[in-house]
Amino acid sequence: MTNKSLAAALLLAALCVGAKGAETCGPEKLGVSRSISVGGAPRLGLKSYPQTLDLHDREVVLTFDDGPSAPTPRVLAALAAECAKATFFVIGRNADTLPDLVRREIAEGHTVGSHSFSHPLAMSKMRFEAAMADIERGAAAVDKAAGGKSAKFFRFPGFVDSPGLLSALEKKNMPVFGTDLWASDWTPMTPQAELELLMRRLRRAGRGIILLHDIKKQTADMLPALLAALKAEHFQLVHMISGDAPPPIRTAPAGWTSETEAINKSLGLYGTRAEKP
């Protein structure tokens, strides 16, 4: 069977299973192989920073941005069906609107971090004070919705950071997350095409923090098949949790450059206003 045929079969089978909801956990489920506690103020994710979590070969971390939103319950149902855990980087205004979903993420054992309040795509062009106010307001809104149980984890909208903002978050002991690979789910495509694209990238990388978006219906449709594919190809799921000390780190290979910096510069998203506190 070709990879394309396998992906199609997994998608069909997993959609049927996912529709039934969560079942009893057991060895047939993907589950979580281990947890990694993250504290201090590391900057993690090779797309943006020259270091990432020290994951073993064939270990992955699932992260979701921009929710909660209409597809989020189906994302949570798919994760529950496989006893899988993820980290959600929640937008503050969405947490204000849909606090019950944030509470559900916490209740089901997921980690909840923040992703700013209003999701400005050019945060480094904002005045430093305005950018920090948006970050802090977002973290407060998320923590309120989470019942005080959110993590201090933060991911910049569009990965557009600045030296001044990074320094300020370091002083606040807020870990900053980029990612190691993504499904490009901001681009419209079928769930099967998204699955095939992400699995090709994951096979090539061998491990890593994965970026997905729980605001995307195509991703919610694809997720049961992704979890099935991870299980079938012997990948193991790692869950990030809040901790007191920095986690073990794997440094970037020689010749590393920031892919997100290059992309954002080409889009004209960088400025200098937020570089100096």
Hey, what amino acid is at 146? A
Q: Which two tokens stand for residue 79?
A: 């994760």
Hey, what amino acid is at 176? V
104 pLDDT above the threshold of 80: yes
Query: Under 8 Å CB-to-CB from 190, ≥6 apart: which residues?
Result: 218
H/E element, 260:
helix 259-266
Q: How confident is the model at residue 164 (pLDDT cuts 50, 70, 90)?
A: very high
pLDDT of residue 276: 55
Q: How confident is the model at residue 19 (pLDDT cuts 50, 70, 90)?
A: very low
10 Å CB burial of residue 73 (0-12, 13-18, 19+) is: middle
The phi-psi region of residue 28 (left if phi > 0; otherwise alpha if psi is between -120 and 50; otherwise beta) is: alpha
9 pLDDT above the threshold of 50: no
| Structural domain spans, the chain | 44-275
Question: In this prediction, what percent of the chain has a pLDDT beyond 90?
Answer: 85
- Record: fold of 44-275: TIM Barrel (3.20.20)
Q: Give per-residue pLDDT as tens, 190-220.
A: 999 999 999 999 999 999 999 999 999 999 9
* Helices 217-232 & 72-81 angle (0-180, nearest 10): 10
**Is the Cβ–Cβ distance between 245 and 43 less than 8 Å?**
no
Q: How confident is the model at residue 124 (pLDDT cuts 50, 70, 90)?
A: confident
Q: What is the largest CA-CA distance in the chain?
A: 57
pLDDT of residue 75: 98
